Amino acid sequence: MTAGISGYNSYVPRLRIKKEDYAKAWGSFQAAGVSEKAVMSFDEDALTAASRVSKRALESVPMAPAKVTRFAFASTTAPYLEKLLSGTVLVNVGMPNSAFTTDHTTSTRAGTEALVSGIEHVKASPGGVAVVATADAPRASMWDPLEHPMGAGAAGFVLSSENLIAEVEGYASFAMEHFGERFKPAGEGTLQDLNVKKFFASAFTTCTTKACASLLKKLGTKPEDYAHVVIQQPDAKTPGSVAGKLMFNDAQMASGLVSVNLGDLGAASTTVGLVAALDAAKVGDRIIMISYGSGAGSDAVSLKVVSDRKPVPSFKDQLEKKEYIDYIQYVKLKGALK
Amino acid sequence: MAHVSVPMYWRTIPQRYQMMGQKCKKCGAVNFPPKGVCKYCNASSEFEELQLSGKGKVHTFVLIGAGGAPPEFADQMKAGGSYPVAIVELAEGPKVIGQMTDVNPKDVKMGMPVKAELKKIYTEEGVIRYGFKFAPDLEGK
Amino acid sequence: MRRVAIVGAGQSKYGEFPEKGIKELFFEAYKDMASSVDKNFDPKQIESAYVGNLGSGGFQLGNMSALVAEYVGLPYIHTVRVENACASGGYALVAAVMDVMSGAHKMVLAGGVEKMTDVSGMKQKYWLGVSGDTEYERLAGTTFAGLYALIAHRHMHEFGTKREHLSMVAVKNHKNGAQNPKAQFQREIQLEQAMKAPIVAYPLNLFDCCSTTDGASSLLVCDAEVAKQFTDTPIYITGFGTSSDYLAIHDRINTVTLEGTKRASQHAYKMAGLTAKDIQLAEVHDCFTIAELLAYEDLGFCEKGKAGQFIEEGHTKIDGDKPVNASGGLKSKGHPIGSTGTGQAYEMFNQLRGTVQKPIRQVKGIEKGLVHNVGGSGGTVSVSIMER
């Protein structure tokens, strides 16, 4: 059965901080290619952002929340370590209590985990409708340069077999054992990273290229068939280094490189990138998204655009609606002074 | 000291998360938040549930400054500074109080179109209290 | 029904008194009341006591009326703690009046006491906060300053009321309060100073807000038939009215009217056979400057929306044709929540008898006065008319 995206949209918080403010505070800004990043306000978190994008995605179809049969939430910064998270969004949006809900929270791959699980639901259940909400505002210690690229954003999708904007052609995964990169041990609140850069870069490359290659092989597509390529963006430079190995060029990467303006969006990195690419795409365009989560694994998803219906507000409009804060305000909002 | 207990908060989830109103079966007016007896006709306690749009216009507002915030909002004041609170006249008729969000306080105006969004109200006893706040309704312009 | 008179009235100083609790404060007011009775005061004649109180200093909420009564030597009588937030005192007076009117008791004490400075600023806000609508107003992040600011802003928007008009209330009341030895803030302020004070809840600033404080007051209420046994100049309660309103402002049809004030005063005028025009002095509830402006309109002293002009024209100054808050009001006197209503009646008792401590604020030759006490943002209101 054909399954794909019937509606989508993103949420970009209005607050931004510029790289210059980081440089002023710390002497340097260690987030390659990122010029500014989005910041959640005091009254926001992954769940409020997930609610926002779920509603926006449903409105873009438009589809009544009562028709939803599956809801998947993804984030690495869930407000609780133990407690069902999806219920908050389910009730706020007005989706039925009987919908099967899942929370995907343990790596930055969570966004595509949720997306793929939603597609699998639609394929397996005739008439099924899945809402996928990915929202993240990754955080680390303010003393750790790892914190520099961390931004905030969310993307939501309505998946079904009708009224499609983009058809999901296929997906492939690659998972392996790996450690020491971006991890949060049980009982410790702070993100850690052993900073063995080359070693971690090899895991990123292995997972993304293997998942991508296996998908291209499965579909019989070639790199040049894709008008838009979205690869996990821990900063704005890393995805480019992998793209070269996969024979993708900068032009293919341009539409979905959201980290330049928003920073690392964690579990929402490739999904917000996908929203940006969908906004820019023409009917007939192919899009490939390749996520990465430390630990480690990747999902690659191939889509084909079949309608030029675009949601409001557009990703670009949201990008332009912003208000800058300085580093002191940033630290206060992030709660680091508590 | 909890100001609103967890069970008390939970009982109002239909209002805080979904803006579920009551339409009076006798006079047709919409009550929100809910009443035992319709506040418009004062003559009926028969209602049907009505999902409100969450859209409305600012009827009046205040900018809460330092010293004007209740203790449970002190952290918000410290982190984000002065915050606006409005009484909003909802599209369906009733007025309701709520904080303004996603807006620079100086941009809040009488009559501006707003829309309810789920936000964190505050955290107490380790439990995040979510509920509606009003954001500028850009499409409503 | 029986006619009712007040034959004695007392008040403690208002302010911060670390050495006194609710018992000691109440006793101070009680002794002041006892000494004000011109002849034949015998505590044994007091059969009943109504004590206005909100937070009891945060420690003796249950049965506090028995505690303060026995402390001042009044055990074994009918006692009730009356709680209607900031209108507790006004309602305690009305309860005492109704008690006497009914014939149940001949000699009744109406008083109020509050201890606000024993606890942290956070706890004070807690006690005040729980008197508003806790489910919606409080959860929107407002205290009473925020709620009155919502009303003030709408009043300014609808009627063109100016920032200056709010500050004029503060300036006028501080001028009167400077002459009140029992007021917390016995000093005058300038208009510019009042307008430039730090913002608490825009459009209201620090000088638009009264201070919640410590204090007590006490009135001796009796059957008019026996009043002359105690004094040659009793003050009669000729009318009273109370009215509740929707607790949360957003539930009210009209944001800029305290319907409770309108209805309570209409009842009181009707009962006394008077109109707003007949009132020669009013002590009104100015917890925030906007509240006094609302009172001018809702008590019928001026038309709705014209309060700004009314204060600007000077009608409510002590030498104006409709003096308001000769005592300095809550603004300058301080606002010991449960005591405020009976404290207003204490001032009116002395004004009508010509026995104000510092005669400079004595309004001369008046016979008819009104006291107006508001709970919260108007959820409860009491109005009493006092005549010589």
Query: In chain A, where are the structural domains located?
Result: 4-165+312-333, 167-305
A167-305: CATH architecture? 3-Layer(aba) Sandwich (3.40)
Would you tell me the crossing angle of helices C289-298 and C163-177 to the nearest 10 degrees? Answer: 100
With beta carbons under 8 A apart, name residues in chain B contacting A14.
Answer: 102
Mean predicted confidence (pLDDT) in C170-183: 98
Percent pLDDT > 70 in chain B is 96
Q: Specify whether the CB–CB gap between B140 and B55 falls below 8 A.
A: yes
- Nearest residue on chain C to B106, judged by CA atoms? C202
Distance CA A292, CA A306 (A): 27
User: String of b and e for C67-84 (b: at least 16 CB within 10 Å)?
Assistant: bbbebbebeebebbbbbb
Task: Give how far Cα C67 sits from Cα of C22, C32, C112, Å.
Answer: 9, 19, 13
Is A77 touching B (CB cutoff 8 A)? no
Q: Say whether B68 and C139 touch across the interface (CB within 8 A).
A: no
In CATH, C4-120+211-387 is 3.40.640.10: no
Q: Say whether A14 and B128 touch across the interface (CB within 8 A).
A: no
Nearest to C316 by CA among C156, C170, C209, C164: C170
Among A43, A94, A313, the residue with its CB nearest the CB of B119 is A43
Distance of CA C209 to the CA centre of its chain: 15
Mean predicted confidence (pLDDT) in B115-128: 94
Whole-angstrom Cα Rg for chain A: 18
Is C233 touching B (CB cutoff 8 A)? no
With beta carbons under 8 A apart, name residues in chain C contacting B99.
Answer: 140-141
Query: What ipTM is given for this predicted complex?
Result: 0.95
Is the pLDDT at C336 greater than 60? The verdict is yes
Q: Say whether A44 and B119 touch across the interface (CB within 8 A).
A: yes
Q: Chain C 202-221, CB below 8 Å of chain B: which residues? A: 202-204, 206
Q: How far apart are the first and last CA of chain A?
A: 52
pLDDT band of residue C170 (cuts 50, 70, 90) is very high
Mean predicted confidence (pLDDT) in A70-94: 97
Task: Give how far Cα C69 sits from Cα of A87, C26, C76, Å.
Answer: 54, 9, 9
Mean predicted confidence (pLDDT) in B127-136: 97
Average pLDDT, chain C: 95
Chain A nearest C-alpha distance from B75 (Å): 9
Q: Say whether B117 and A332 touch across the interface (CB within 8 A).
A: no
With beta carbons under 8 A apart, name residues in chain A contacting B101.
Answer: 41, 43
Q: Specify whether the CB–CB gap between B27 and C120 falls below 8 A.
A: no
Query: In chain C, where are the structural domains located?
Result: 4-120+211-387
Q: Say whether B120 and A335 touch across the interface (CB within 8 A).
A: no
Q: Chain C 132-151, CB below 8 Å of chain B: which residues? A: 134-143, 145-146, 149-151
Is C85 touching B (CB cutoff 8 A)? no
Q: Give me the pLDDT at residue B2, please.
A: 53
Catalytic residues of C: 86, 335
Please, do chains B and C touch (3+ CB pairs < 8 Å)?
Answer: yes
Task: Give how far Cα A181 sits from Cα of A111, A198, B123, Å.
Answer: 18, 11, 32
Distance of CA B103 to the CA centre of its chain: 16
Identify the residue with better confidence: C58 or C69: C69
Distance CA A278, CA A206 (A): 27
Q: What is the pLDDT of residues B51-86, one digit of tens each?
A: 999 999 999 999 999 888 888 898 899 888 999 999
With beta carbons under 8 A apart, name residues in chain C contacting B65.
Answer: 198-202
Among C135, C138, C250, the residue with its CB nearest the CB of B95 is C250
Q: Say whether B59 and C142 touch across the interface (CB within 8 A).
A: no
CA dihedral C57, C63, C65, C68 (to 10 degrees): -60
Substitution target from B6, B22, B30, B87 for chain C, most C beta carbons within 10 A: B87
Q: Say whether C140 and B98 touch across the interface (CB within 8 A).
A: yes
With beta carbons under 8 A apart, name residues in chain A contacting B84.
Answer: none
User: In which residue are the tokens 């016979």 written?
Assistant: C367
Is B136 touching C (CB cutoff 8 A)? no
Q: Say whether B62 and C203 touch across the interface (CB within 8 A).
A: yes
Q: What is the pLDDT of residues C265-299, one digit of tens each?
A: 999 999 999 999 999 999 999 999 999 999 999 99
Give the B:C interface size as CB pairs under 8 Å: 113
SS (HEC) of A27-95: CCCCCCCCCEEEECCCCCCHHHHHHHHHHHHHHHCCCCHHHCCEEEEECCCCCCCCCCCHHHHHHHHCC
Q: What is the pLDDT of residues C288-332, one digit of tens each?
A: 999 999 999 999 999 999 999 999 999 999 999 999 999 999 999
User: In which residue are the tokens 């055990």 written?
Assistant: C75
Among A48, A80, A312, the residue with its CB nearest the CB of B118 is A48
Q: Say whether B18 and A91 touch across the interface (CB within 8 A).
A: yes
The encoded tokens of residue B116 equal: 């309810």
Q: Say whether B102 and A92 touch across the interface (CB within 8 A).
A: no
Is the pLDDT at A217 greater than 60? The verdict is yes
Q: Pick from A240-244, C135-139, C256-260 the range whose average pLDDT is largest.
A: C256-260
Chain C nearest C-alpha distance from B82 (Å): 9
Q: Say whether A94 and B51 touch across the interface (CB within 8 A).
A: yes
With beta carbons under 8 A apart, name residues in chain C contacting B71.
Answer: 122, 125-126
Q: Say whether C141 and B99 touch across the interface (CB within 8 A).
A: yes
Q: Say whether B18 and A51 touch across the interface (CB within 8 A).
A: no
DSSP state of A186: T
Q: Give me the pLDDT at residue B1, please.
A: 46
Q: Say whether C126 and B3 touch across the interface (CB within 8 A).
A: yes
pLDDT band of residue C53 (cuts 50, 70, 90) is very high
Give the list of residues 6+ apart from residue C44 with CB closer than 8 angstroms, or none.
Answer: none
Which partners does chain A have (≥3 C-beta pairs < 8 Å)? B
Q: Give me the pLDDT at residue C134, please.
A: 85
- Nearest residue on chain C to B11, judged by CA atoms? C135
Is the pLDDT at A130 greater than 80? The verdict is yes
Chain B nearest C-alpha distance from C129 (Å): 7
Is C166 touching B (CB cutoff 8 A)? no
Mean predicted confidence (pLDDT) in C152-177: 98
Substitution target from B11, B60, B76 for chain C, most C beta carbons within 10 A: B60
Residue at A208: amino acid letter: T
Distance CA C114, CA B11 (A): 33
Please, do chains C and A touch (3+ CB pairs < 8 Å)?
Answer: no
With beta carbons under 8 A apart, name residues in chain B contacting C122.
Answer: 71, 74
User: String of b and e for C44-56 (b: at least 16 CB within 10 Å)?
Assistant: ebbbbbbbbbbbb
Distance CA B85, CA B97 (A): 7
Is B132 touching C (CB cutoff 8 A)? no
Residue at C268: amino acid letter: A
pLDDT band of residue A337 (cuts 50, 70, 90) is low
**H helices present in C178-282, as ranges:** 191-195, 224-227, 259-272
**Which CATH code fits A4-165+312-333?**
3.40.47.10
Between strands B20-24 and B55-64, the pairing is unpaired
With beta carbons under 8 A apart, name residues in chain B contacting A88.
Answer: 17, 118, 130
Chain B nearest C-alpha distance from A16 (Å): 13
With beta carbons under 8 A apart, name residues in chain C contacting B87.
Answer: 150, 154, 249-250, 255
Please, do chains B and A touch (3+ CB pairs < 8 Å)?
Answer: yes
Is B22 touching C (CB cutoff 8 A)? no
Q: Specify whether the CB–CB gap between A254 and A268 falls below 8 A.
A: no
Task: Give how far Cα B129 sits from Cα of B7, B9, B101, Å.
Answer: 12, 8, 15
Q: What is the pLDDT of residues A271-286, one digit of tens each?
A: 999 999 999 999 999 9
Among A48, A312, A323, the residue with its CB nearest the CB of B119 is A48
Q: Give me the pLDDT at residue B139, please.
A: 65
Chain A nearest C-alpha distance from B73 (Å): 11
Q: Give me the pLDDT at residue A189, please.
A: 76
Distance CA C229, CA A230 (A): 95
Q: Give me the pLDDT at residue B141, please.
A: 43
Identify the residue with better confidence: A101 or C125: A101
Domains and CATH numbers, chain B: 54-141 (2.40.50)
